[in-house]
Amino acid sequence: MLFGAHVSIAGGLEKAPLNAAAIGCEVFQFFSRSPRGGPAPKINKTVIEKFQDNFRKTKQQECYVHTPYYINLASANNRIRHGSISVIREELERGSLLGVKYIMSHLGSFKDYSQDKGMKIVIESLKKVLQGYQGKAQFLIEISAGSGQIIGDSFEEINEIIKRLGVLGKNVGVCFDTAHAFASGYDLRDKKAVDETLKKFDQVIGLKKLKLIHANDSKVDFNSKKDRHEHLGLGKIGLRGFKNIVNHPKLKKINMVLETPHDEKGDYQLDLKVLKKIRK
């Protein structure tokens, strides 16, 4: 298991590996465009060469891209829905050019439709994203914190989406966010809880689909349905929970990326030190 964090692309996409190495990352995640909208930075031959050169020089092992925050594949607004389809596909293509391993995304909300109709629209949207895609970056669905009618807040819902994609779902994986899962009712506070949550994941989705973990403690209580990240060991999951996650035998080959806060309590460097300390 390798550790990293979500890093900035300030100064250009090619700077991401340098920014990751500067804080002690072994792997890293980044936005390849603004998470709140606007045109994406162009990826030309020079950018690709500089990015990959910096990746090698800093001895980073893997990298991942998170799609923007505004993605909603079940929006009744065609501009938002079709824009979301285009952006995810573009991120898959852009990530493949850079050598990114995974592109993860939240899928949006069913707020505009009933559950059944919303699910049908999500499946149709994802099929448009994936049809004809031949790049190397793999698409991951990130588990959500279950507030409102959010999509993908349960193992059952994620599995249904993957299954209904048919052959296109064979190469779709899952990004497991610890804070989101905890807030959605999957306990991670001790060894027994971690074992039971992973057992359920395996029964419903299959551990072979688990590709990446977002390592975030939770500011909010178990099953609170809210998305609030905290520094490792300072939240409701606690250090005991993360010790059992990091050292779980079934997670040895699954890497972790931090999305913890930058505040008066600390930053990514602090949380990376915590992870490295508890790694046996």
Determine the Cα–Cα distance for residues 273 and 279; give it in Å rounded to an integer. 10
217 is catalytic: no
Q: Which of 106, 186, 268, 271 is catalytic?
A: 106
Catalytic residue among 26, 217, 227, 271: 227
Integer angstrom CA distances of residue 263 from 5, 145, 184, 230: 15, 22, 25, 10
Q: Which helix (H) or strand (E) holds 177?
A: strand 173-177
Q: Pick the catalytic residue: 33, 81, 89, 180? A: 180
Active site residue 36: yes
CA torsion, ordered 60, 37, 153, 258, to nearest 10 deg: 30
Rounded Cα–Cα distance for residues 102 and 136 (Å): 9
d(CA 9, CA 47): 12
How far is it, in rounded angstroms, from Cα 279 to Cα 92? 31
Place of tokens 């606690």: 238
Q: Residue 160 carries which side chain, given as an amino acid letter?
A: E
Query: Is 6 labeled as catalytic in the residue annotation?
Result: no
**Is there a catalytic annotation at residue 229?**
yes
Q: Is 66 a catalytic residue?
A: yes
264 annotated active-site: no
Catalytic residue among 66, 89, 94, 231: 66
Cα 85 to Cα 204: distance, rounded to the nearest angstrom: 26
| Catalytic residue (one of 14, 26, 91, 142) | 142
Catalytic, 82? Answer: no
**Would you call 180 a catalytic residue per the annotation?**
yes
From 214, 231, 268, 271, the catalytic residue: 214
Q: Which residues of 184-196 are buried (b: 16+ CB within 10 A; e: fewer)?
A: bebbbbeeebbee
The catalytically annotated residue of 62, 153, 177, 230 is: 177
Catalytic residue among 6, 33, 94, 229: 229
Q: Is 231 a catalytic residue?
A: no
Active site residue 259: yes
Establish whether 49 is a catalytic residue. no
Distance of CA 29 to the CA centre of its chain: 9
Q: Residue 29 in 3-state DSSP?
A: strand
* Given the residues 69, 195, 221, 262, the one annotated as active site: 69
Are the beta carbons of 223 and 183 closer than 8 angstroms? Answer: yes
Which one is catalytic: 102, 259, 268, 271?
259
Residues noted as catalytic? 36, 66, 69, 106, 142, 177, 180, 214, 227, 229, 259
